[in-house]
Amino acid sequence: MIGKSLALGCAIGLLSTLAQAQPASVRNDYAKPETWVCWPGKAGDACAVDMTTTVIKANGAMSVEAFKAEPKAPVDCFYVYPTVSNDTGVVSDMTAGPEELNVVRAQLARLGAKCRIYAPLYRQFTLTALRAASAGTPIAGSADPAVRQVGYNDVLDAWNHYLTHENKGRGVVLVGHSQGSGVLARLIAAEIDGKPIQKQLISAILMGTSLGVDKGKDTGTFKSIPTCKSANQTGCVIAYATFRDTVPPPANTRFGRVANPAMEAVCTNPAALGGGKGELKAYLSNTAAEIASSAAATPAWVRGTANPMTPFVSVPGLLTGQCVSKNGFNYLEAHVNADPADPRTDTIAGDVVGAGGQVAADWGLHLIDANIAMGNLVDVVGIESKAYLARK
C-alpha cells in the first residue's frame, strides 16, 4: 500500500493538464545527480533499497525471496511518479522526501531486475494544492497556465537529458502511475509517437489512468503506438485501472472511461495481455512507514501468526485479474480467491477509505495499481526486452 494521501493526490493523473507546476522561467539542471530520485550508481539512489519479500503460500507456509537488481541490464526504464508531495505550496520542491522515496520503492525498484532505472524529480502539483482546490479554497496561482506547465517541462527536460547523455541507443520502457501516467502520455504523444525515437520504445506502462483508444481499435491517443497484445510485442502500451470485482466502478468513478464519445478507455491485463484471466503476481508493501499511513489496515497475513518483517509480501494464487467492460467502463477487475478453510488472509488492503471508514468506491484499488501486478510487469518487461533485443 502506498497510503491514503497518495490516492487522494492521484486524481490529478486524470487531468494531465494539471500535472505541472511553478513559473516556467526557472528550469532544472538534470545534469545534477540531486535532480534524480533514481539514477544508476548515484549515491543515495532511492531504487537501491531492500526489496526482500516473504512468500506466503495458501497453507500459511512462509519463505523468504531475495531480490537482486541487474546493474548491467541491457535496457532502461524511465519512470514518472504519481502525486505524492505534501509540500505546502502549489508545486513541489526538488527535494526527495519520504513520499517520493516510498513510492519509487513500491512502484519501481523491482523493475531493476530487468532494466537500468531512471526516475527524475519534478515539480508536481501538490497534494496540498489539490486538497485546497477540492475544498473550494484554491491556493493563489494554482490556476495559472504557466504554473501548470512546469512539471511537464521538468519531465521533458529530464527525458532529453537522459536521451542525450545516457541512452546511447538503448531500448527503453516508460513507466508511470496516475499523474505520472498523464505526464508520460503527453510526452509520448508529442515527443515519441511517429518520431525516430519510437523505434527504441520497448513499451509504455501507464497505470492508474484512462488512456483513450478509438472504439474497436488499439490506437487513438497515440496514433502509431498500439496496445500490447502479448509479451513478445514491442513498441506498444499497457494501461489499466484496477477495481475489486465486489466493488465495481460507480457512476462517479474517476477511471475506466474517457470524455470523447468516439473513444474508450484502454485496459490491458498485465497477467494476460492476450485477454482473459490471469494470476496477479502481487508484491504488497509491508513496511512500518507505509502501514502507518495506509488507507486501510494491513491484514494479518496468516491467522494466529505475527506478520513478517520483510518490506514486501507475496501471496501466490490469492489474486486473479481480467479486463472487463461493464456499465460503460473498461477496467482491470481483481478477484480475491478467498478460502476460509486455510490460514492465509482472505483479503488484501488497497481501498481508499474516507471519513467514518467508508470505502471510496470511485477510486477502486488505485492505491495498489502497481503492487497488485508488479510480478507480472517484471515478467513482461523481461520478455519484451528479449524480444526487442532479438529484433534490433
Q: In angstroms, rounded to a whole number, what is the distance separating the alpha carbons of residues 241 and 208?
A: 5
Contact 118, 78 (CB under 8 A): yes
Please report which confidence band the pLDDT of residue 370 belongs to, taking 50, 70 and 90 as the band edges: very high
What kind and span of H or E run contains 127? helix 127-134
Please report which confidence band the pLDDT of residue 5 belongs to, taking 50, 70 and 90 as the band edges: very low
Asked whether residue 19 carries a pLDDT value surpassing 80, the answer given is no
Query: According to the model, what pLDDT value does residue 392 have?
Result: 82
Q: Give SS3 for 310.
A: coil
3: left (phi over 0), alpha (psi -120 to 50) or beta: left
As for how many domains the chain has, the answer is 1
Average pLDDT for 125-129: 74
Q: In angstroms, rounded to a whole number, what is the distance separating the alpha carbons of residues 123 and 93?
A: 6
Q: Tell me the per-residue pLDDT of 280-324, one tens digit each, with 9 for 90 and over.
A: 999 999 864 344 334 445 678 999 999 999 999 999 999 999 999
Classify residue 367 by burial, with Cβ atoms within 10 Å: 0-12, 13-18, 19+: buried
- Whole-Å CA distances, 8 to 13, 69, 242, 353: 11, 31, 15, 10
Query: According to the model, what pLDDT value does residue 25 have?
Result: 61
Q: Which domain holds residue 70?
A: 4-391
- Of 212, 210, 246, residue with least CA distance to 331: 210
Q: Tell me the per-residue pLDDT of 218-234, one tens digit each, with 9 for 90 and over.
A: 999 999 999 999 999 99
Residue spans of beta strands (DSSP E) within 39-137: 53-56, 62-65, 76-80, 116-120
Q: Name the pairing type of β-strands 278-279 and 236-240.
A: unpaired
Query: According to the model, what pLDDT value does residue 136 have?
Result: 78
Query: According to the model, what pLDDT value does residue 191 have?
Result: 98
Does the global pTM surpass 0.85?
yes
Average pLDDT for 144-150: 79
